[in-house]
Structures are given as C-alpha cells and as structure tokens.
Structure 1
C-alpha cells in the first residue's frame, strides 16, 4: 500500500500541517483523528490496515490530516472565544486550501470525510457546514455538541460550529446528494449523541443510515470493523 508523508503549508494557520496519504488513486476520503490524536493515529491503531484492500485496489485514497485541537476545542490555556476562533481558521484551511487541493489531485467535485469519536465531530461539522464540498460522511461514535468544551461561552461562531444547534434550522434539500452514516453501538458512550443527531436529520428529511451495533465499546475494535464495512457500501454501490 503506497504511503506518503506530506507537510502542507497553510496560509490560514501560518504553519505546516502534517498528513499521511495512503494509495495513489481512488476516491478521496479525508480522515480526522480522535481527541488530540495525530495524523498517524489511524495507521497506528489499525484503521488504515482494515481498509487495505480497498486502498490497494484503487477504490479509495485516504488523507489522514492533523488537527489543531490542542489550540482549539481542547485548548484550556486559551479563553473560549479564542478556542473557537482558532477552529474557524482550521475550517478555513480545510475549505480554502486542503479540500480544493484534494479535489484537484483526485479529479473529483466532492470528497468523503470520516472520523472516529472526536474525529466524527470534525467530519460531521465540516460536511454539514460545507455540503457543496462533501458527498460522503462517515461518523463512527461521533459526538455533535461542542458547548461542553467552552466553559459556558456562546456566540454565533459557536452556533455555526455546533451541528446540534445549526442543523435543525438547515434546509434538508442541501444534503440530498450526501450519503451519511452515523455509526454507534449499544455500549457506545456516544450512543445518545447519535440518536439525537439522527432525530435532527429525520426531522429535516435528510436521508442517512443510523447503524447501531450490538455490545461493542467506544474503541478501536469497533471502528476497525465499521470502517471497511461502510466504505465498501458507498462508492462501490
């Protein structure tokens, strides 16, 4: 399986962002790490290995990107207002720099986004904020309410980065093209978060698949089973 280590300079973040890219062709999936995880986490924890055959056969090309969580949502050394503003810069990096680069490199009009746990939040937040750029969303054990990270601080910037707040007021037709998977399990600490998000999507007439697996914990063994199953059902249909 072809693997590349890339340092991508971001003008919005004014620093290099590291990535691992797996595969040399195929439909692009932008994969976010879990809480405070790095770009190599998905490889280290077996998630990339779980989809090796899909990558090696040229079905997918997977971009594992770093986040700036330590200076945004988890940046307790910063005032909450600045945590949100830093995330907005990260979103601009994705929207204006990285995703256009991926689209051009893979010759596609839209990409897929995916993530586990807090990476599921990143994937969902980006997809729901920018549906014109995303065709596939895979959230595994994601949570979708960011307010608990901000010590009571709330403004419009928080609202527009908090899917449980802004999605009830969105127009469902904007997401009609998107294939959406919300994966969770009976023992998942984020089960209720996924039930809540599924209800919001249902109320807006947004088609999606809420996949609740039996007797699995919020951890990598669950996600390593989910990821190849979800990817094999999507572009290969």
Structure 2
C-alpha cells in the first residue's frame, strides 16, 4: 500500500503542517482525525488498514491532514475570538492548500470528506460550507454545533462554522448534488446532534420540494 508523507509551510496557518497520503490513485478522500488528533492517528488506529483493498486497487486515495484543535477549540488560554479565528484559518488551509489541489483527481472534480467524532464535525462543516468542492460526506459520530467550545462567545464567524445554525438559511444548489451519510447509534453521545442535523437536512428537502 502506497504511503507518502508531506510537510509544508502553510501561509494560511503561518506555520508548518503535515499530512499522510495513502494510495496511488483513485477518488480523493480527506479524512480528519478525532479531537486534537494528529495526521497519523487514522493509520495508528487501524482505519487505513481496514480499507487497504480499496487503496491497493486504486479506487481511492486518502489524505490525512493534521488538526489544529489544540490551538482553536480546545485552547482555553486564548479568547474565544481567537479560537474561532484560528479554526477559520484551518478551514482556509484545507480548502486552498489541499482540496483545490486534489479535487481534479476525481471524475466529478470534487472530493469526499470524512471523519469520526470531532473529525466528523470538520468533515461536515467543510462540506456544508463548501458544497461545490464535495461530492460525498461521511460524518461518523460527529457534532454540528461548536458553541460549547467558545464560552458563550458569538459572531458571524462562529455562526458560519456552526452547521445546524447556518444550514437552514443556506441555499447553495450544490448541496443537493452531495451524498450525505451521518453515522451514529443509540448509544452514541452525539446521537441527538445527528438526529437534529438529519431533521435540518430533511426540512431543506421539503422546503425546496
């Protein structure tokens, strides 16, 4: 199984960032780590090995970027304004430094977004904010509201990084071209969040009927 390591200076983050890429060809999948996880987490936890056949057959390529959760949502030493600002720069990094460079590796000119837990938030938040770049979303036990990480602080940036807030009024037609899977279970602590998001998406279908 082909594996490559990348490290580069990110002009959006104003620091170096890292990423592992698995597979030699195929549909591009951006797979985020869980809360405060690193770019090698999905490999270490066996998730990459579980899809070895698809990678070796050249059906998919998986891109595992590093996270900056420790410097954004989980950094209680800085003001919430700077937490969400740092996350906004991370969103720009993923968009302009990764997705825009790999999207043409697929027939659709789009990518798949995926992640578990807080990685599910990253995948869903990016997909819903930038539906023109995303053909499929797989959010597994994800959350869709990050206000609890910001100590009550709110501004437009917070709003537009909180999918269950901005989606009801968001009408980009590309949303209807996306296949969306919200993975959860009865014992998932994020079950209610996923149920709520499912209702938000279902309501949009009825509204545009």
Provide the alpha-carbon RMSD of the alignment.
1.4
2:33 matched to which residue of 1? 33
SS in 1 for 2:74: coil
1:85, distance to aligned residue in structure 2 (A): 0.5
Asked whether the equivalents of residues 33 and 115 of structure 1 are also in contact (C-alpha less than 8 Å), the reply is: yes
1:78 deviates by 0.8
| 1:148 corresponding residue in structure 2 | 148
Return 5+ residue gaps in structure 1 as ranges: 207-237
Shift of 1:8: 2.8
Cα-to-partner distance string for 1:9-39 (whole Å, 9 max, x where unaligned): 2111122211110001000000000000100
Task: Tell me the secondary structure at the aligned position of residue 204 of structure 1.
Answer: helix
SS across alignment from 2:205: coil
Query: How far 1:42 moved relative to its partner?
Result: 0.4
Structure 1 match to 2:165 = 165
Q: Which residue of 1 aligns with 2:49?
A: 49
Match of 1:181, SS? strand
Shifted more, 87-96 versus 99-108: the winner is 99-108
Is the Cα contact below 8 Å between 1:25 and 1:106 reproduced in 2? Answer: no
Residue 67 (structure 1) aligns with: 67
What pairs with 1:1-237 in structure 2 (closer than 5 Å)? 1-104=1-104, 109-171=109-171, 173-205=173-205
Deviation of the 1:103 alpha carbon:
2.1
How many residues align structurally? 206
Greater Cα shift, 88-97 or 155-164: 88-97
TM-score when scaled to structure 1? 0.84
Give 1:104 deviation, angstroms: 4.5
The structural deviation recorded for 1:107 is 7.0
TM-score, reference length from structure 2: 0.95
Mark the CA change 1:7 to 1:129 in structure 2 (over 3 Å): closer, same or farther.
Answer: same
Corresponding position of 1:213: none
State the distance in 2 between where 1:11 and 1:69 align.
18
What stretches of structure 2 of length at least 5 have no aligned partner? none
* Change in 2 beyond 3 A, CA 1:4/1:108: farther
CA contact (8 A) 1:115 1:123 kept: yes
Q: Is the 8 A contact 2:26 2:105 kept in 1?
A: no
Is contact 1:42–1:48 with CA below 8 Å preserved after alignment?
yes
Given that 1:172 and 1:205 are in contact with CA atoms closer than 8 Å, whether structure 2 keeps it comes out as no
